[in-house]
Structure 1
Amino acid sequence: MTALHDTGVAATGAARAKVPAATRPAPLAEGALVPAGTAATRGGAPFATQPVDYDAVLLLGFGGPEGQDDVIPFLRNVTAGRGIPDERLEEVAHHYRHFGGVSPINDHNRALRAALQAELDGRGHRLPVYWGNRNWAPYVDEALQRAFDDGHRSILAIATSAYSSYSSCRQYREDLADALEATGLPLEIDKVREFFDHPGFVTPFVDGLRAGIAQLAERGIDVADAEILFSTHSIPNVDADRSGAPEDGFGPGGAYLAQHLAVAEQIMAQLGDRCPWQLVFQSRSGPAHVPWLEPDINDAMQDLPARGRKAVLIVPLGFVSDHMEVMWDLDTEALQTAADLGLAAVRTATPGLHPAFVAGLADLVEERLQGTPPERRPHLTALGPAYDVCRPGCCENTHRGFRPALAGVIP
């Protein structure tokens, strides 16, 4: 059984199907532009500068199986609506089965929830932290129901993903809308801004790269002979192009590509631009004829020996924790590719439970409690700080269209 929060309340129904997709938006207060928003957000302004007395925090996760029997039901949830037969799902299941059918993402989110709770408690905030997943127990609707039963009515959500795209931002907002429709709860729900360039997210990568450079030095390899590969999840080009707010006009690759490049540049600037680097992609899935962001990390390594590289430093820039796509796609497949090419390789750390990351999440909560104006919010690139209220038409999914979503202006 999975604890939702410190009182030990357990989640149920792990193997159930996901909550059906919302068919209508959450109720709009009179004159509001943002469904289920608080007074600070319902008017639709990009930044919420009015203090809000939130009474709970909700950590939003992807979810993952907890054992071999959970793997296929979990993958059915992930691929719901696509009609993918179990025999094809089994082709992906071996990644999980290799690790006993257990995804590390759930244990990480349990630990992150506890760490964030301790940080908020230490700052004097009486805010219980709940946790709900998209694809596995505890589900988002279960977490919201528990928060409501505990007497909470105004909730601030934090997605465990830092960047703009459909799957990393808008889909979490859809999850909230689905859960509100399923439960019918009269809740106000806002979401913190995307935190791709918040110092709390960037600092752990800088520290991790410094540690990786030291590891290479211990093996007698100078960083000047290495190449840094900043790796993130590939997504279809059409989804990347539509990531972020249309009004910002990012162009090809959208906000998703621009944000990753900006963060990588910031990290390299802090390290003194000591060696070559590139942004690479991983974990592609779907039909081969559909263009996805490239190059794949394994392809990117192929010509490095011919260019005199002796080593690679693999930085999981798109990921918050060491979940399956880090442990399999990087720690298993990419490191094997490096070994086959004769390249020394170090995979650097994700933010995980780094004190700066946990403190940064608490900072994001505090800026919404206090209504901090955008000019006083920490950000390390020219692209930030990101919006509190997602703009109309942001992060469109070209196959599904604009489904009901919270924490943003319709659609």
Structure 2
Amino acid sequence: MSQATTAGYDALLLISFGGPEGPDDVIPFLENVTRGRGIPRERLAKVGEHYHLFGGVSPINGQCRELKAAVEADLAAHGLADLPVYWGNRNWDPYLTDTVRRMTDDGVRRAAAFVTSAYDGYSCCGQYAQDIERARAEVPGAPEIDKLRVYYNHPGFVEPFVEAARAALADLPDDLRDGAHLVFSAHSVPLSQPGRELYQAQLEDVSAYVAEHAAPGRPWRLVYQSRSGPPTQPWLEPDIGDHLEDLHAAGVRAVVNVPIGFVSDHMEVKYDLDVEAAGTADELGLTFRRAATPGTHPRFVSMVRELVQERAGTDRPALGSLGPRPDTCGECR
């Protein structure tokens, strides 16, 4: 394996949020997610009902396994089969610290870390950088771990959304397609969260790019979903449900939801969009289609390898108007 082709890394680390894998895991998982925030247990039980609709299993761990396998196959196809791929989570097994300990035991010296979150902002970027620092501090002799750059406007993330938006529009009935609106959605965050302005600007920029290349001239708007804070705390708006009501009142008959803020179909997509938002649309009489997330799209999978390899060179592709992001995300910690 050439050091030039892997930028001197001897391992790739996939880092994700984690999720329960059975009914008994749901409340302990939610306790991990909300630790230190004083969330009442009855509130956790209410949120847990979303997971129980899916057998107590979040899709995210299965999706990480699929992504890991796809990345390993892509590396092998490009002569990099001996670059091992590890996986660790913030909130559930396999925990990141345990994975870093295994990497240390395996003799890994320097690893690149790919996070399943595409944007800047504290919860998307800065918190993962802190997770890496914390895990390394808990493991004597831990390898050096470099978090790969934010990739929200990398062609490997954007092009699958263009393709998916076109496919969702094509799936609408012929008599509704021309008048359908695009509704881009992303996880809401508090207005006070570090990096929020950059997060919002990136979402607007990539949404505009996807709208223009998937359906030029079609009406679109960026909205937010999955809010979890107290009503007194200002969060990014409008909420997707409120926007669907506004579209219905304006006489719109069909929408295509593009979950631009998400890498894969985890719970915020499968429940908050496929159940809640789709249910709201149904009640309003709006025809609703949801575009696919990148998941294990071949272009997204190859992007992971490209992000590692670009650390050895200068080519950093980026679509839209904001340009590629630097390797560090210190401004959003």
Q: 2:325 aligns with which of 366, 386, 392?
A: 386
Please give the per-residue CA displacement for 1:384-405, whole angstroms capped at 9, x wherever unaligned. Answer: 21111234xx114xxxxxxxxx
Change over 3 Å in CA distance of 1:186–1:329 after alignment to 2: closer
State the superposition RMSD in angstroms: 1.5
Counterparts of 1:223 and 1:214, CA distance in 2: 7
SS of the counterpart of 1:211? helix
User: Is residue 2:308 matched to residue 1:365?
Assistant: yes
Counterparts of 2:159 and 2:212, CA distance in 1: 12
Give the corresponding residue for 1:72: 27
Counterparts of 1:221 and 1:105, CA distance in 2: 36
- Identify the range of structure 1 (81-90 vs 356-365) with the bigger mean alpha-carbon deviation: 81-90
User: Is residue 2:186 matched to residue 1:232?
Assistant: yes
Whether the aligned pair in 1 keeps the contact of 2:6 and 2:309 (CA below 8 Å) is no
Gaps spanning 5+ residues in structure 1: where?
1-48, 244-252, 397-411
Q: CA deviation at 1:120?
A: 1.0
Give the corresponding residue for 1:353: 296
Counterparts of 1:177 and 1:221, CA distance in 2: 54
Counterparts of 2:304 and 2:142, CA distance in 1: 26
Matches within 5 A, 1:194-343: 194-216=150-172, 219-239=173-193, 242-243=194-195, 253-343=196-286
Counterparts of 1:344 and 1:84, CA distance in 2: 36
Please give the per-residue CA displacement for 1:260-316, whole angstroms capped at 9, x wherever unaligned. Answer: 010011112212423100000000011110000000000001121232311010111
Counterparts of 2:319 and 2:124, CA distance in 1: 20
Instruction: Write the letter of the residue equivalent to 1:316.
Output: P
Question: What TM-score comes out, normalization by structure 2 length?
Answer: 0.96
Number of residue pairs aligned between Structure 1 and Structure 2: 329
Whether the aligned pair in 2 keeps the contact of 1:230 and 1:315 (CA below 8 Å) is yes
Q: CA deviation at 1:210?
A: 0.8
Question: What TM-score comes out, normalization by structure 1 length?
Answer: 0.78
- Identify the range of structure 1 (377-386 vs 321-330) with the bigger mean alpha-carbon deviation: 377-386
Gaps spanning 5+ residues in structure 2: where?
none
Q: CA deviation at 1:382?
A: 2.3
Instruction: Write the letter of the residue equivalent to 1:192.
Output: L
Please give the per-residue CA displacement for 1:98-130, whole angstroms capped at 9, x wherever unaligned. Answer: 111000000000000110111111111221000
Instruction: Write the letter of the residue equivalent to 2:35.
Output: A
Instruction: Write the letter of the residue equivalent to 2:324.
Output: P
Instruction: Write the letter of the residue equivalent to 1:183.
Output: V
Whether the aligned pair in 1 keeps the contact of 2:185 and 2:225 (CA below 8 Å) is yes
Q: 1:96 aligns with which of 43, 51, 69?
A: 51
Q: CA deviation at 1:51?
A: 7.7
Whether the aligned pair in 1 keeps the contact of 2:182 and 2:211 (CA below 8 Å) is no
After superposing on structure 2, the runs of 4+ consecutive aligned residues of structure 1 that deviate more than 6 Å are none
Give the corresponding residue for 2:316: 377
Instruction: Write the letter of the residue equivalent to 2:63.
Output: H
Change over 3 Å in CA distance of 1:151–1:332 after alignment to 2: same
Whether the aligned pair in 2 keeps the contact of 1:235 and 1:284 (CA below 8 Å) is yes
SS of the counterpart of 1:367? helix
SS of the counterpart of 2:192? helix
User: Is residue 2:332 matched to residue 1:395?
Assistant: yes
Counterparts of 1:51 and 1:149, CA distance in 2: 21
Q: CA deviation at 1:223?
A: 3.1
